[in-house]
Structure 1
Amino acid sequence: MVKGTHQAIDDVRNETVKIFINGEFHDRREAKISVFDSGYLVGDGVWEAFRVHQGKLIFIDQHLDRLWQSAKVIGIDIPFSKEELINNVHRTLKINGMKNDVHVRAMLTRGIKKTPSQDPRLTVSGPNLVIIAEFKAAAEESKTQGISLFTSTIRRGAPDYLDPRLNCHSKLHEVQALIQAIEAGADEALMLDVNGFVATCNATNFFMVKGGEVWTSTGEYCMNGITRGNVIKVCSRNGIRCFQKNFSLFDVYGADEAFVTGTFGGLTPVVKIDGKSIGNGACGPVTTNLRKLYEGLVAEQLK
């Protein structure tokens, strides 16, 4: 089992799930898309992932707003409404008998190309929509034991060439960062921005705690995380001092606590960075409290 923020309990039901592709359902083993798809050829597409509990799509409005914004940024005209997408997600959940501990990924690419090329004018179909829903309950190991990070040499880029807030299919630089972390014996990668300040992780957002204060990056060079925003929200609601600011590894190594946030894992404690223990090397009290507050926000979605 791979340890990290996406560590899930193996579920044999996923071997027979049906996948939604452009209005039709296919057995997992038969779910295919053309090798001329723009997402496969040049990473030209956007996606969203969200959780399902008690049949409810958690924070779905925020996720769809981000999807529509991302599609607009790269010039994909989505040929269906948000309501239609939600309906297709529910169709996918129903055909697979899914209600709890479900992870859904919706992927939208520009479409099929006439020939392998970057040029969007050579697209000969409308956008392709794929919805993959899986039974995914988070494993407790990462939440209870925490994870380790390694600071990658791969930097988070500036918004003038690939905005880090864009949830697109082009994730190669994040994959490179993660490979470095794995080779260094860590679970995931910590990434700096172009100025050397702490930005984010390869697949999650980073927070540290110092003297009871919660710090996270300015947001200029990090993913536009839904969970990140909701943690900032619960801090504001509950009088917890939370700052979006520049800080360096000097600050991180001296942190009392650290944690990362993401749609799948929620809040996951970080116990070691670059071989250095953070705090007492365990999940700290501020992280524990914020996790409970965040879970309370999730519970509000179920009412």
Structure 2
Amino acid sequence: MSSHSYIANKKNDDIFININGSLIKRDQAKISVFDSGFLLGDGVWEGIRFHQSVLLFIEDHLNRLFESAKGISINIPFTKKEIFQEIKKTLSKNKMEDDIHIRLVISRGEKITPYQNPNANKGPINFVIIPEHKKSDPKIQKDGIKIGRVPNLRPNNEILSPQYNTLSKLNCILASIEANKLGFDEGIMNDLYGNISTCNSTNLFFIKDDNVITSSGKYCLNGITRKKAIELCHENSIECFEKNFTFEDIKDSDEAFVTGTFGGITPVSMLEEFKLNSTDKNSLTFTLKKLLDKKIENYIKENK
């Protein structure tokens, strides 16, 4: 189980996928073996939720997409409005309206030969839009997840900015493998300086004495749900601190939760061997989740 656990849906067997503007049935959708994303993980991506016919926080997602692409010197030859229209076209073709998860991928494009230098690229970027019927498993919100430390570290900007949402996820995949070995749903990753940064696929918050604590943000993904959670704290007079801290500083926390586009706010019920109160209906985690649900509800009303 994880914050990404979902309810399987047979409708996904017959979806149309958007490849460079063409809508293609799932079983026929293909990308060249010379694609930069396949060969080298050279590209950027976004995960976007579609609820009640509204793309949630789409401005934030498209801004991050373009920032990530700029950060690794990929020029996206489309406007944000054009990408938005392609997403809507894909959803319309699939007759999708609610509980949809979209994976938007942009690679540097096709290569002449398998070689890392972008000079070996011969054409335009490739972009892919994969929409799926994907509803979060409610059991996760009820039971929470278990997290713990893994040895894998988050890089700094001089290695590769951890704030860019790139296809090169091997750092996080290896952390996920270690978490699996240790019996954790998510692995807690430190930065290079010994401070807690993030989990392998979600951002991380701790609650101690009604104070919310999260990392400085320098060495984790520029999370959109993370940002919303911090905003909710400030808007509701909840103390929230973005700072450096170690495991020793938070191992006696009362609660913890992780954030992500798919799972929203997901409670952490176990921090290694320590039991937390995050799934309690009177917990601050539960309060923040309800506040996020309300923020999403208001966003949908404003963007219908």
TM-score > 0.5 by shorter chain: yes
**Helix, strand or coil for the counterpart of 1:154?**
strand
Deviation at 1:277, TM superposition (A): 1.8
Between the two proteins, what is the percent identity of the paired residues? 43
> How far apart, in 2, do the equivalents of 1:285 and 1:262 lie?
19
Q: Aligned partners of 1:273, 1:206: CA distance in 2, in Å?
A: 12
Q: Is the 8 A contact 2:20 2:127 kept in 1?
A: yes
Aligned partner of 2:176 in structure 1 is 178
8 Å CA contact retained: 2:257, 2:278 = no
Equivalent residue runs for 1:114-125 within 5 Å? 114-125=112-123
- In 2 relative to 1, CA 23–237 (structure 1 residues): closer, same or farther, beyond 3 Å? same
Who is 2:257 aligned against?
Answer: 259
What's the secondary structure of 2:153's corresponding residue? coil
1:146–1:282 CA contact under 8 A, matched in 2: no
120 and 280 in structure 1: CA distance in 2 versus 1, 3 angstrom threshold = closer
Q: Distance in 2 between matches of 1:185 and 1:76?
A: 38
Q: Which amino acid aligns with 1:12?
A: K
Query: Could you tell me which amino acid in structure 1 is paired with residue 299 of structure 2?
Result: Q
Tell me the residue number matched to 2:217: 219
**Map of 1:1-303 to 2, 5 A cutoff?**
3-279=1-277, 285-303=283-301
SS at match of 1:36: coil
TM-score by length of 1: 0.97
Aligned-partner SS, 1:152: strand
Give me the whole-angstrom Cα distance separating, in 1, the residues matched to 2:280 and 2:289. 14
- CA shift in 2, pair 1:280/1:166, >3 Å: closer
Describe the SS at the equivalent of 2:204: strand
Query: What is the letter of the counterpart of residue 60 of structure 2?
Result: Q
- The answer to whether the 8 Å contact 1:4/1:142 transfers is yes
In the alignment of these two chains, the number of paired residues is 301
Contact 1:257 1:283 in 2 (8 A): no
Could you tell me which amino acid in structure 1 is paired with residue 193 of structure 2? N
CA contact (8 A) 1:178 1:189 kept: yes
User: Offset of 1:150 from its aligned partner?
Assistant: 2.2
CA distance in 1, matches of 2:96, 2:128: 17
8 Å contact kept, 1:272–1:281? no
**Distance in 2 (alpha carbons) for counterparts of 1:186 and 1:242:** 26
| Shift, 1:251, TM fit | 2.2
Tell me, what secondary structure is at the counterpart of 2:135?
Answer: coil
Any conservation in 2 of the 1:144–1:283 contact (CA below 8 Å)? no
Which residue identity lines up with residue 18 of structure 1 in the other structure?
Answer: F
- Given that 1:190 and 1:201 are in contact with CA atoms closer than 8 Å, whether structure 2 keeps it comes out as yes
- After TM superposition, give the deviation of residue 279 of structure 1 in Å: 4.3
Instruction: Return the offset for 1:219.
Output: 0.4
**Using the alignment, how far apart are the partners of 1:97 and 1:139 within structure 2?**
23
Could you tell me which amino acid in structure 1 is paired with residue 98 of structure 2?
A: N
Structure 1 residue 252 displacement after superposition? 2.3
Shift of 1:283: 6.7
1:204·1:262 contact (CA, 8 Å) conserved in 2? yes
Work out the CA distance in 2 between the residues paired with 1:299 and 1:205.
Answer: 22
User: Any gaps of 5 or more consecutive residues in structure 1?
Assistant: none
Distance 1:221 1:274 in 2: 22
Deviation digits for residues 87-146 of structure 1 (CA, Å, limit 9, x no counterpart): 110111011110100001110001000000111011111000000000011111111100
**How far 1:272 moved relative to its partner?**
1.1
Q: Is the 8 A contact 2:256 2:267 kept in 1?
A: yes
- 2:180 maps to a residue whose letter is I
* 8 Å Cα contact 1:259-1:269 kept in structure 2: yes
